[in-house]
Structure 1
Amino acid sequence: MTVVSNPPTVASIAARLERLPTSRWHVKVRTFIGVVTFFEAFDQLLIATALPVLIREWGLSTGQVTLAITSGSVGMLVGALAAGWLADRVGRVRMVMCGVLVTGLTSLAIVFAPGFAWLVVLRFVQGLGIGGEVPVAATYVSEITKARHRGRFVLLYELFFPAGLLMATVVAAWVVPNWGWRAMFAIGAAPALLMVFLQRRVPESPRWLAAKGRLPEADEVLTKIEAEVSRTKGELPPPAPDPVAVDGRPRSTLADLFTGIYLRRTIVVSALWFFGYFVNYGITAWLPTLYTSVFGLDLDTALKYNLCTNAVGFLGCVVAALTIDQIGRRVALTAGLAGSAVSLGTLAVLGASSGSQVLLWSSLAAFFIFATNVTLYLYTPELFPTRSRALGCSTGGVFNRLGVILGPIVVGRIIAHGGTNATVFGALGAAALLGALFALLATETRGKTLEQLAPGGHNPA
């Protein structure tokens, strides 16, 4: 193994990370973080699978259904913003652990919720954990990955999230009709058990430690990583000289995201997060309820239809992961949003007159919009410097949650005021089209190191 004898610097830590070949260590850490993200996604979708039963059991109105959906989303918004700010100060892994603990314990508490008010409050608290973990975990995985093939490596990790959404629908299709909605939340408490594995097996991000000025710690952590990688990959190549001037300022501020080259990036990526998740949750949060209340399908059929849509959406994520390094981020984002707009627009023109028709076209829309949204988890950490990367991701997460909140609200309002199914899907298609226009302005990041993409200075994009 090549020994680095010079005192560590921010640039040398980045160069040493970039020279590491993808190894068993990378896959192991990606899997640990991925399992955590899987259960966060699982918990996120539980309310949608429980609502068809809760409407009958508690006699919920349309307004209460909307509140049940959005309470968790509001919590995720607050959690995303707070966790991003904290993760840039206290560390990536520590904030992931906090998010996991909050999510798991709150899911267990929901099992014993005596009524609607308690459910709303606890879903808000659970949202704090989910919203805090997901963007910070994406930041961490990006920071341990080299530029070459970063797209595929990170998106294969991100597949854990749609897999968690898919598994929630798979499990719900069997558990909810037989054991009730509370059993789903009991299963959702599993993330709390993952704390031990995270603490023992996942080291802090060397890039973050270096950016905070904790260079001896960064060197120590990275030396251990290099030793483990070299055991399976042999002698490591020497670090390449890094021509990019790296900003080692340890503290981040919100102003970092709105100056120089980062202003346009923040605006564009925030819009993409908003429209992507406005469409995503406008569809998925209401589909089981639409199938039962509008088309008169029984609960078992509605949940299986919902499972089919999520399965097709997961397939879209797999396609994105396998092609992202070839087609680039801008093309993937634009094609995903445009494809979703065409699918939903077609459904609106056809009138969305039957459950099977909605199943077909909403599943096609899910293929495109799920692929778009999983790409955003790769794309956003690439746009910001290390000192404020988690804050940038969490700002994207805030607009994500605004979309998650407003999508179901808009759909609920349209339904409550007598709007047709065509109106619902037409509105979602228009939102996807607006997102595609913003995607055309996205900065391409394929094949560049994080330091090349997001230097401390404000040189032109």
Structure 2
Amino acid sequence: MTTVAGKPALGSVAARLERLPHSRWHVKVRFLIGAVTFFEAFDQLLAASALPVLMDEWNLSTGQATFAVTAASIGMLLGALAAGWLGDRVGRVRTVALGVGITGLSSLAVAFAGSIETFALFRFVQGLGIGGVVPVAATYINEIARSDKRGRFVLLYEMIFPAGLATATLVAVWVVPNLGWRAMFLIGALPVLIAVALPRHVEESPRWLLARGRVEEAEEIIARIEAQVEASVKEPLPAPAPVDPALEEKAAGTGRIRELFQGRYLRRTAVISGLWFVAYYVNHGISTWLPSLYTKEFDLDLTTALVFTLLSNVTGLLGTFIAAMVIDRIGRRPALIAALTGAMLALGVLALLGATSGTQVAIFASCTTFFLFAINAGLYLYSPEMYPTRIRATGASFGGLWNRAGVILGPVTVGAIIGAGGSLSLVFAQLAVVAAVGAVIAWFAIETKGKTLEELNS
């Protein structure tokens, strides 16, 4: 292990990770971290699936329903801030394990809630876990991926999130009408088991260990990873590429949150913050209210409403897969611009048509989620690329702060329009305008395809 000016050689670890061929080790890690992400997505959408039943069971007003669905979002906002700081100081894997443990235990508590107040309180705590896990998990996946295939590697992993959303809706189609909404939250408590297993089976990020000056641990872990990969591919690993000493020295060290707003990182932080806000404002403005819109506005039965919602999640999964296949070739910036423009057009057409039937809304909402899910997954790839190892989790989670702001304001705005007697055309028109603003912001994004994390931040 080489060092530079008494500091750990981060670049040498990057070179050793870059030369690793895809192997069973990568599959194992992506599966275990992916299981965490799957259940975080599953738990995130539970309130939306339960909301139509809760509104009748507890005789909720539109304002109370909004309170119920946004409580977790406020927790996610605070959790994202805390987890980013924690992930850069105690480690990626420990932070993810802590967050998923909080998520599972809180879901169990929600299942026994007896009022809208206790429901919202436990959903808030659950949001702390969900908001913290996802950006830190994405940071970890970025740090173990090769630069030439990082886009595909990360986005195929990120497909697990929309898969979790789709599964939550699919399970809800049968569970909520037959077993009740509480059963959904009992299922959402399963991640507690993953929280216990994760630190034992997933190695900490060698990049993070070196950035913290823990050279011996980094050497031990990278050697262990190399041994597993070599055993998997059954041939010697290629030699690492030469390391640029200047790259190493700049990449290591202890980060400070103020770096997000200094020098080159100020523009990066501004762009990704805007993109996060737009993507999640539009996404949750739609997804949170869809089941209720189908039942209240179009008098559809609960099963049909949940099936239509499932359709939107399935098309979102397809959009994420297509993005994973092309993003390393066309680049992050063109992909973001195209997807935001597509979402704008789908929403704009729906607004012009007047959103006159549940089927019409289902079709165009599904076209919208096709693009939106690809944007969301792309941002979990793009945000960690923007920052050096010492502040990578903090930077990715700061973007998550803005996505949580969008998660809160999107449903609140839609709820306010509906509550004030506004038309569905107005609901979808304002979402189209926000998506258009996002497409403009994406023009100012920098391109990152094919570059190592150290090259982007040297």
Normalising TM by the smaller chain, what interval? over 0.9
**In the alignment, structure 1 residue 25 sits paired with structure 2 residue 28:** no
Q: Which runs of 5+ in 1 are unaligned?
A: 456-461
Bigger Cα displacement from structure 2, 236-245 vs 200-209: 236-245
Displacement of 1:9 in angstroms is 2.0
Partner of 1:385: 388
8 A contact 1:212–1:248 mirrored in 2: no
**In the alignment, structure 1 residue 92 sits paired with structure 2 residue 95:** no
Partners of 1:307 and 1:163 lie apart in 2 by 10
8 A contact 1:96–1:136 mirrored in 2: yes
Partner of 2:212: 212
8 A contact 2:152–2:327 mirrored in 1: yes
Aligned CA-pair RMSD: 1.2
Partner of 2:139: 139
Instruction: Report the number of matched residues.
Output: 452
**In the alignment, structure 1 residue 327 sits paired with structure 2 residue 314:** no
8 A contact 1:213–1:248 mirrored in 2: no
Partners of 1:257 and 1:415 lie apart in 2 by 38
Please give the secondary structure, in 2, of the residue aligned with 1:245.
helix
Displacement of 1:18 in angstroms is 1.4
**In the alignment, structure 1 residue 78 sits paired with structure 2 residue 81:** no
Partners of 1:226 and 1:249 lie apart in 2 by 22
Partner of 2:240: 239
**In the alignment, structure 1 residue 441 sits paired with structure 2 residue 457:** no
Partners of 1:225 and 1:124 lie apart in 2 by 37
Displacement of 1:248 in angstroms is 4.8
Displacement of 1:381 in angstroms is 0.6
8 A contact 1:91–1:204 mirrored in 2: yes
Q: 2:341 aligns with which of 338, 342, 348?
A: 338
| 1:311 alignment partner AA | V
Partner of 1:273: 276
Q: Which runs of 5+ in 2 are unaligned?
A: none
| 1:237 alignment partner AA | P
Partner of 2:416: 413
Partners of 1:248 and 1:405 lie apart in 2 by 35
Identity of aligned residues (%): 59
| 1:358 alignment partner AA | V
Displacement of 1:249 in angstroms is 4.4
Partners of 2:23 and 2:60 lie apart in 1 by 51
Displacement of 1:6 in angstroms is 8.4
Partner of 1:365: 368
Please give the secondary structure, in 2, of the residue aligned with 1:148.
helix
| 1:173 alignment partner AA | V
Aligned CA distance change for structure 1 residues 262 and 96 (closer, same or farther; 3 Å):
same
Bigger Cα displacement from structure 2, 352-361 vs 46-55: 352-361
Q: 2:357 aligns with which of 331, 354, 359?
A: 354
Please give the secondary structure, in 1, of the residue aligned with 2:148.
coil
Partners of 1:79 and 1:264 lie apart in 2 by 24
8 A contact 2:97–2:196 mirrored in 1: no
Aligned CA distance change for structure 1 residues 6 and 351 (closer, same or farther; 3 Å):
closer
8 A contact 1:10–1:215 mirrored in 2: no
| 1:407 alignment partner AA | G
**In the alignment, structure 1 residue 395 sits paired with structure 2 residue 398:** yes
Please give the secondary structure, in 1, of the residue aligned with 2:204.
coil
Instruction: Deviation per CA, 1:199-223: give whole Å up to 9, x if none.
Output: 2110100000000011111111101
Q: 1:301 aligns with which of 276, 285, 304?
A: 304
Displacement of 1:324 in angstroms is 1.0
Aligned CA distance change for structure 1 residues 115 and 262 (closer, same or farther; 3 Å):
same
Please give the secondary structure, in 2, of the residue aligned with 1:89.
coil
Partners of 1:52 and 1:181 lie apart in 2 by 10
Alignment of 1:60-75 (within 5 A): 60-75=60-75
Partners of 2:282 and 2:2 lie apart in 1 by 52
Aligned CA distance change for structure 1 residues 5 and 209 (closer, same or farther; 3 Å):
closer
TM-score (normalizing by structure 1): 0.96
Alignment of 1:8-19 (within 5 A): 9-19=9-19
8 A contact 1:32–1:197 mirrored in 2: no
Partners of 1:378 and 1:337 lie apart in 2 by 16
Partner of 1:260: 263
Partners of 1:319 and 1:6 lie apart in 2 by 41
**In the alignment, structure 1 residue 290 sits paired with structure 2 residue 279:** no
Aligned CA distance change for structure 1 residues 6 and 421 (closer, same or farther; 3 Å):
closer
Partner of 1:458: none
**In the alignment, structure 1 residue 187 sits paired with structure 2 residue 180:** no
| 1:434 alignment partner AA | V
Partners of 2:297 and 2:269 lie apart in 1 by 39
TM-score (normalizing by structure 2): 0.97
Partners of 1:113 and 1:290 lie apart in 2 by 25
**In the alignment, structure 1 residue 250 sits paired with structure 2 residue 253:** yes
